[in-house]
Amino acid sequence: MSEELQKKINCVLIAGGLYHDIDFARLELLKILAEDERVRVRVFEDYTNIEAIQQADFIISYTCDVIPPMEAQEALRDFVKNGGRWYALHGTNSILRLLDNGLFDAPRWAPLFMDVLGSQFVAHPPVGPYLVTVADPDHDLVQGVEPFETTDEQYLMECHGDLQVLLETEFEGDATGFVEDKWERNKHPVLYIKGLGEGAVLYNTLGHCRGHYDMQPLLDYWPEVDRCAWELPVFYTLLRRGIDWAKAPALKA
């Protein structure tokens, strides 16, 4: 058996936060990770286990409104700068505060965290169908992927640094329910790479999911189960390719 096939690969999966079916997302990601028996996974609800981050070969995150303390932000930055890869999904870049007027604000409280990620969530229009197009069709992560329509949260973001955009979408209109609700026509990244030092972050904004109890304490019961992009085979293609991208440096070490 070759050394590559025997090598253990350490993954940290961070899955936690508000307004999403974290149980569903966590399980789906673990099932994909289990397809490679070399990958051993430690699972956390937040970013506070700095030792685990430092020991990881790669990181995956599916969070919403989970803000790392500064020490953890610095550890994440150093992990990437030193050659680590981080596959960040959906609401990882979100900070949400519900104001007295009933609107959601996206305060800029964690600039280091958002700079490492390459973006900060600001708003989204109501969940509905939108078109995702391919910005860099020659890149391995999206090669062969055709433009597709998804029903999901269409992320409108504030971007930081030089991003290599692979998938994108276009929006003009109102992001109802958010403080920053008026948006002129513009393109917004859906999948991108943000390089930092010797490593990089891969960010995928797709993948909203919500079950009956995930809007508590705002609502006791959400009437529908939302699976959004998780219902599309192309989303699982992007997840598998992203995980392969994230663990690739560990195979060369």
Token pair of 1, please?
Answer: 């058996």
CATH number at 96 reads 3.40.50.880
Q: pLDDT tens, 167-199?
A: 999 999 999 999 999 999 999 999 999 999 999
Range of the domain at 42: 3-252
Residue 2 has pLDDT above 80, yes or no: no
The pLDDT of residue 205:
99
pLDDT range class, residue 253, cuts 50, 70, 90: confident
Mean pLDDT confidence for 200-227? 97
Mean pLDDT confidence for 227-233? 98
Alpha-carbon Rg of the chain, whole angstroms?
18
Residue 155 has pLDDT above 70, yes or no: yes
The pLDDT of residue 25:
98
Token pair of 179, please?
Answer: 């403080």
Mean pLDDT confidence for 232-247? 98
What value does the mean pLDDT of the chain take?
97
Among 68, 12, 76, 79, residue whose Cα is nearest residue 44 = 12
Percent residues over pLDDT 90 in the chain: 96
Cβ atoms of 210 and 21 closer than 8 Å: yes
The pLDDT of residue 3:
54
- SS3 labels along the chain: CCHHHHCCEEEEEEEEECCCCHHHHHHHHHHHHCCCCCEEEEEECCCCCHHHHHHCCEEEEEEECCCCCHHHHHHHHHHHHCCCEEEEEHHHHCCCEECCCCCEECCCCCHHHHHHHCEEEEECCCCEEEEEEECCCCCCCCCCCCCEEEEECCCEEEECCCEEEEEEEEEEEECCCECCCEEEEEEEEEEEEEEECCEEEEEECCCCCECCCCCCCCCCCCCCCECHHHHCHHHHHHHHHHHHHHHHHHHHC
Least confident of 5-9, 119-123, 243-247: 5-9
Distance CA(201)–CA(85), nearest Å, equals 6
Residue 124 has pLDDT above 70, yes or no: yes
Residue 1 has pLDDT above 80, yes or no: no
Residue 35 has pLDDT above 70, yes or no: yes
This prediction's pTM: 0.97
pLDDT range class, residue 93, cuts 50, 70, 90: very high
Residue 241 has pLDDT above 70, yes or no: yes
Mean pLDDT confidence for 36-53? 98
In total, how many domains does the chain have?
1
